[in-house]
Structure 1
Amino acid sequence: MARWARSRARAAAAIEAAAPAQGYDSQSAAEYGQRCPICLDDVVGQARLSCEHMLCAECLLRYVESLVNQGKVAAEQLACPLPSCRTPIATNALAELLRLQPKGDDVYQRLLDFQAQRFEPEPGDDERLVNCPSPGCIKVLVPLSLVQERADVSCPQCSQRFCAACAQPAHAGSCEDAEMQRMDPALRRLIAQQNWKRCPVCRHLCERESGCNFMTCPSEQCKGETYFCYLCGEILAASDHASHYEGFDGAIGLRGPFGSVCMNRREPDSSLPSQPPPPRLSAVVRGEEEGSIALRLTWADHRSEPPTIYYRIWLSVPGSKEVHHYSAAARGPYYDIPKGLPKYIRYQAAVAAVNVNGIGPASSKSE
């Protein structure tokens, strides 16, 4: 069987395994006391799902066609339309229904194509889906050994030769060198300046805005299931969140994932954080109670290595010696000052970043 056809069959089998059996019902809809949940009229065609909900055959066809048009073809998306139910609809029931309706066979073929495009091999299958670099072309099932060898393969649809590892046109040398040659010089400078790193699985650029060196790739291919070290680029498991950054011979202290060392990078960086730009203060309404106004401190863009763990905040009134001290984790884009401050007074704020090595210089005061 051709690889593309095999991926379609395996995708349909995966949907089938996730859904219970269902099909048509010859009994009257009135015996079930149900109306079609889509058109809210008496059921015509009587398509009964395994969850015992009945729909008009034509309504179900239009419902499935709408899902296919939106690319919603996963098992949890091909489900009973009732929000309180959402039982998966088996592929064999859809095939029986769609092929008996006008346009049904076309919708069913498009459904199989979408499922094949979204299909992902199981970890033990020793295969990987790779996008053909030709515009608008297909994904190709490639043996994992060819991906690891960074071998060139041919697309069975358009015959384009491309690298199995980086999914780019066939090239000489390493994938990294070929990518740098293709890349715009301005983008190369920006990547170096911002210290962006690539996911070791899908090669998407990842930016660590805040937090530790244990990264989760959010790309469409990885879907938050790939973890890697921002320092060395090694693929990690969820359980490596702490162990990858501690415990090797000669480690200087237990610096953890916020530090500058890991199992593969053992030269610590003792730098303090750089000086951040001044923050911005604004008044925001919180809640629906009258007078529920909060003072919000918004960070300016600031990156430093080793990564910032939290900020120290000094809040004062111009011309007054009174200073309020706060600490805020460097996770979100802002920090709301706790309740208790007098309202309708002009305040100023300064911040300083703190990493595993200590505190850096304070910013100038906000305007």
Structure 2
Amino acid sequence: MGCKPSRKFDCYFCKKRCKTYPLGCSSHGGCESCLFTYFIRCISVESLEISQIPCLYCRTLIPKKLVKYILSKKTIQAPEPCWTLTIESILKSKQPLVNFQCPICFTLQIPANGYTLKCGDVFCRQCLNMYITEKIRGNDQSSINCPDCKKPLNEQDITLNIEPQVSELYEQNRIKMLSFEYEGEKLIICPFCQEGFTINKEELESRCPFCMKLFCFRCYTYHPKSKCNLIVAIQGVTNCPKCGEGVMKVGGCNFVTCRWKVCRGNVHFCYLCGQQLSITEHGSHYGRHGAFGKSCKGLEARNAIANLK
């Protein structure tokens, strides 16, 4: 394909009838000004290489020769405001422009299934929904971070990836769990009755004045005469079925990867039952509960055997 414009057709961006450049696919094309704007934004905002820019409509990769030619044009009239608004709305949708592999479920996803966090990491919406929902329902929404780089998620990234009923719970918890310090006091929420009350910021455990239950403010459980970090170390470790080393998970997906020296990230297993799994079993091993739930096929099999005894 050459870089000369075709006869006059409707530009698929600004919808004007003008000389357009075919984008390498069978039916889409754009005028110089619209293509220039689109290419610049793909490179500067999405950090794409010139060989990775897809057709905005059918996702066919646009020939690198055409991208170079359009970007080399020095005098291109500014695009119409309507097209500028169109591309802005596409970028604000947080949808990636190319196919991607979700770092949580390791499956190849199309752009429509993806979401780009403020930090730049991309995940499939299903995994983000399960991850964020688990954090909110588990009274752990103060530490909703990117599963990859661990940077905190902003409010938009959270609310756009949860169901309406979970969003209501998020707002309720946000009000109750709003931490503040006033003369050495801090507001927390009871994990049992969901009521908020103030404590001395130096305290590690106390009794809820509403339901009268005692709990630790770090792990939200009661462990008398034991340090919180010790309890976490004892109760929060699953041994890798391959190398035998302990792996500790703090929230997130139950499909984990062993990164000890022997396994080097090549061994995956279930954090709940300890069974070694393959990449393809990421979803099937957990059934309807999902990888963020509290059950799996391994635990269900053990329970079934125990009930027979």
TM-score by length of 2: 0.31
Q: Which has more helix, going by share of residues?
A: 2
Q: Which has the larger radius of gyration?
A: 1
TM-score by length of 1: 0.27
